Amino acid sequence: MNPVVTKVILTVGVALIVAAAVVTRRAWLPAIWHAIPSVWRIAKITVAEARRRRVLQAVIALVILIIVSMTFFSYLSPQEQARMLINGGLSAITVFGIMLAIFVAAFLIPNEVESRTVYAILAKPVRRFEFVLGKYLGALIVLAAVVAIMTVVLVGVLVVQDHLVEDLPDSVFNPNIAQVVFASAMSYCALAVLTALIVLISTVSSTTMTVISAFIIWVVGSMQSQIHDLAEKATGAAKLLLLVMYHLIPHLENFDFRFQASYFVPIPVPAAISAVISGILYTGVVLIVASVFFNDRQV
Amino acid sequence: MASADVVLQIEGLTKIYRSLFTPAGVRAVDNLNLTVRQGETYSIVGPNGSGKTTTLKILLGLIFPTAGSASIFGKSIADLSVRERIGFLPEDAYLYDCFSGEELLDFYAGLFGYSKARRRELVDELLTLVGMQANRKVPFRECSKGMRQRIALAQALVNDPELLILDEPTSGLDPAGRHQMTLLIQEMKKRGKTILLCSHFLAEVEEVCDRVGIMYRGRLVAEGTIEELAGEPEETVVTVTDLSPETAQRLSALPAVKEVAADVVRLDHVGEKDLWQALEIIHDGGGEIVEVSRPRPSLQDIFVKAIREEVE
């Protein structure tokens, strides 16, 4: 689609949503106000529960190990090493972040339903959408903490490595830390979008089905440009299926700025802003649908 | 027809579970009508699969009825404000098992919007009430079944509810645990709470409940106080000692006497005149009267009879 048309659609869409929200504020504002404490309490207990699960610590430890072990490639030139560290570190953060997002989000709601812990919560004055949002917010906080820790380690390794090689003759290590942090933050945005979609799937299916669907979404979402190319060449039902996938599954590759960070290329700010805004809108819609589905679910 | 003292009213409640394999559906609850009044302890009893838990789940908004309606405190069960005034103890205490009783109660109290100071007070009060102060920091997964059940009851009480809904509160507990739980329920009753209870343990139900509803295959097949359900005693039992064979023979000749054994005489449910006649014969024959009783059937007997009648 023409980028100008996309921008117009996006701008008009945002304007319409904001206008609708302002006009109908009396209907939803009190409910949102009432929901905040419950959402926050559920998010907090979700975080506390995740903190006590060893898998989280194991994933963080593994990623730290991977990042630190990449400094051992001493045969590379300083710049190549910087590039490899940034690309490898960001890739580890993305891949392990996504795997963690899948496993955290896929278990969020089905686990509560299967273990029946949801009974005692929904028997309290807690609306079902508050429960969904609380669980989602909890997962976001957990993922934010994990991505932040992994990013801090990556940045720390880059800074230490920079100091180590600065005295060498003709060495150019010079990583752009701001770009690394930015790329990591964008990876987190992708995780947030993916987590919302997994939460939506988990409101209507079992844990196993959710995990399988989440992996498919991750793969498809990361290769949407190829899906688009395939859709253009395909015909009939295959074309329709590919187009549906292209339009419904989030374009996770739009959040991928690893290349810019590792090759010291300036970040395309408009593309990043566009990805973030569309990600927020997509997440909002997905969470509304998830709340509607969970509202009708018999637990 | 809601009156001021009606806390819970169920009218024509029906729940049908349909699936691909059972297109006609399975009627888990079938046209249930039930009323619970303020301060009353009402128990739903019934065999497994009779629809007790399904009914409770509908009342709590966990599942939705196929037909019929229910109201609590005069409001629809869909009204969220109703849940500010009720407490629910789920069967088997399904709570987060990685947290301690203290943490769990703080979390559930937080869902009612209490301040941190109030929550701390409340957690202390509730842990004392259920006898878990000493084990307040023990993770839920490491608690015994009895301890879990007491924490689960405490979470049902965090909002000082007017209506307590208890699903199998003594299920899986040893006799001591069952006794403790029964005492706690009696304490709640003393505090004026309205209690709706589902249980398999008929002896406990008999001990704490004002009225009982017997459910079978989703339908309420009998309802009333234990006395109402038991009806009039069917026999009079005279416990005796030193009953001579002659006296036994004279007693057997009476039309009201059903059975004469060495130490007991059973009479059909008789009037005062027949009873006095039998007692005189025993006395005149040198027998000693130990006790005269008109035993009512136990809840177990009532339950079995009601289910048998339904099956037939």
Q: Closest by alpha carbon to A25, among A36, A17, A37?
A: A17
Mutate to test the interface with A, among B60, B80, B111 (most CBs of A within 10 A): B111
The DSSP-derived string for B34-62 is: EEEETT-EEEEE-STTSSHHHHHHHHTTS
pLDDT band at B101 (very low <50, low <70, confident <90, very high): very high
Residue B234 has pLDDT above 80, yes or no: no
Q: Does A116 touch chain B (CB under 8 A)?
A: yes
- d(C-alpha B99, C-alpha B136), whole Å: 10
Write the residue in B90, B107, B112 that is nearest to A119 by C-beta. Answer: B90
Q: Does B303 touch chain A (CB under 8 A)?
A: no
pLDDT band at A154 (very low <50, low <70, confident <90, very high): very high
Q: Could you tell me if residue B102 is inside a domain?
A: no
Q: How many other C-beta atoms lie within 10 A of the C-beta of residue B299?
A: 23
Query: Are the Cβ atoms of A123 and B83 closer than 8 angstroms?
Result: yes
- d(C-alpha A298, C-alpha B20), whole Å: 17
Residue A110 has pLDDT above 70, yes or no: yes
CATH code assigned at B275: 3.30.70.920
Mean pLDDT of B132-142: 92
Contacts of B156 in chain A (CB under 8 A): 120
Q: Could you tell me if residue B26 is inside a domain?
A: yes
- Interface predicted TM-score (ipTM) of this complex, two decimals: 0.83
What is the count of structural domains for chain B? 2
Mutate to test the interface with B, among A111, A119, A131 (most CBs of B within 10 A): A119
Q: Does B25 touch chain A (CB under 8 A)?
A: no
The DSSP-derived string for A53-80 is: -HHHHHHHHHHHHHHHHGGG-TTS-HHH
**CB proximity list for B203: less than 8 A, separation 6 or greater:** B299, B300
The answer to whether residues B197 and B261 belong to one domain is no
Pairing of strands B163-167, B194-199: parallel
The answer to whether residues B265 and B251 belong to one domain is yes
Residue A75 has pLDDT above 80, yes or no: no
Q: Does B110 touch chain A (CB under 8 A)?
A: yes
pLDDT digit string, tens, across residues A48-60? 998 887 888 888 8
Residue B191: exposure state from Cβ atoms within 10 A (0-12, 13-18, ≥19): exposed
Q: Does A164 touch chain B (CB under 8 A)?
A: no
Write the residue in B94, B152, B165 that is nearest to A115 by C-beta. Answer: B94
The answer to whether residues B271 and B250 belong to one domain is yes
Q: Could you tell me if residue B224 is inside a domain?
A: yes
The answer to whether residues B258 and B213 belong to one domain is no
Least confident segment among A171-185, B72-86, B101-115: A171-185
CATH code assigned at B64: 3.40.50.300
Residue B137 has pLDDT above 90, yes or no: yes
Owning domain of residue B272: 235-293
pLDDT band at B92 (very low <50, low <70, confident <90, very high): confident
Pair of tokens at residue A192? 């947030």
Q: Could you tell me if residue B301 is inside a domain?
A: yes
Q: Could you tell me if residue B78 is inside a domain?
A: yes
Residue A93 has a pLDDT of 92
Cα Rg, chain B, nearest whole Å: 25
pLDDT band at B108 (very low <50, low <70, confident <90, very high): very high
Query: Are the Cβ atoms of B112 and A125 closer than 8 angstroms?
Result: yes
Contacts of A123 in chain B (CB under 8 A): 60-62, 83, 86-88, 90, 165
Mean pLDDT of A22-30: 82
Q: Does B139 touch chain A (CB under 8 A)?
A: no
Q: Could you tell me if residue B124 is inside a domain?
A: no
* Higher local confidence (pLDDT), B21 or B45: B45
Q: Does A54 touch chain B (CB under 8 A)?
A: no
Q: Does A120 touch chain B (CB under 8 A)?
A: yes
**Cβ(A197)–Cβ(A220) below 8 Å:** no
Give the minimum alpha-carbon distance from A207 to chain B in angstroms, rounded to a whole number. 18
**Across all residues in chain B, what is the average pLDDT?**
90
Residue A14 has pLDDT above 90, yes or no: no
Q: Closest by alpha carbon to B105, among B157, B177, B42, B70?
A: B157
Residue B125: exposure state from Cβ atoms within 10 A (0-12, 13-18, ≥19): middle
Residue A225 has pLDDT above 80, yes or no: yes
- d(C-alpha A156, C-alpha A70), whole Å: 13
Residue A94 has pLDDT above 70, yes or no: yes
Contacts of A52 in chain B (CB under 8 A): 98
E strands, chain A, in order: none
Residue B271 has pLDDT above 80, yes or no: no
Q: Could you tell me if residue B147 is inside a domain?
A: no
Q: How many other C-beta atoms lie within 10 A of the C-beta of residue B53?
A: 20
Mean pLDDT of A216-240: 90
Q: Does A295 touch chain B (CB under 8 A)?
A: no
Contacts of B94 in chain A (CB under 8 A): 115-117, 119-120
Query: Are the Cβ atoms of B108 and A52 closer than 8 angstroms?
Result: no
Q: How many other C-beta atoms lie within 10 A of the C-beta of residue B27?
A: 17
B74: left (phi over 0), alpha (psi -120 to 50) or beta: left
- d(C-alpha B139, C-alpha A290), whole Å: 32
- d(C-alpha A32, C-alpha A30), whole Å: 5
Give the minimum alpha-carbon distance from A125 to chain B in angstroms, rounded to a whole number. 5
Q: Could you tell me if residue B50 is inside a domain?
A: yes
Query: Are the Cβ atoms of A126 and B111 closer than 8 angstroms?
Result: yes
Query: Are the Cβ atoms of A48 and B99 closer than 8 angstroms?
Result: yes
Residue A290 has a pLDDT of 96
- d(C-alpha B278, C-alpha B255), whole Å: 10
- d(C-alpha B122, C-alpha B126), whole Å: 6
Q: Does B155 touch chain A (CB under 8 A)?
A: yes
Q: Closest by alpha carbon to B29, among B18, B8, B14?
A: B14
Residue B79 has a pLDDT of 93
Beta bridge partners of B15: B29
Q: Does B94 touch chain A (CB under 8 A)?
A: yes
The answer to whether residues B9 and B44 belong to one domain is yes
Residue B227 has a pLDDT of 84
Residue A173 has pLDDT above 70, yes or no: no
Which of helix, strand or coil describes residue B191? coil
pLDDT band at A170 (very low <50, low <70, confident <90, very high): low
| Dihedral pair phi/psi, residue A235, rounded to 5° | -135, 165
% of chain B with per-residue pLDDT over 90: 55
Which of helix, strand or coil describes residue B221? strand
Query: Are the Cβ atoms of A120 and B88 closer than 8 angstroms?
Result: yes
**CB proximity list for B113: less than 8 A, separation 6 or greater:** A37
Give the minimum alpha-carbon distance from A299 to chain B in angstroms, rounded to a whole number. 5
The answer to whether residues B197 and B281 belong to one domain is no
The residue to which tokens 């920079």 are assigned: A162
pLDDT band at B258 (very low <50, low <70, confident <90, very high): confident
Q: Does B78 touch chain A (CB under 8 A)?
A: no
Residue A74 has a pLDDT of 62
pLDDT band at B209 (very low <50, low <70, confident <90, very high): very high
Pair of tokens at residue A130? 């508050």
- d(C-alpha B194, C-alpha B37), whole Å: 7
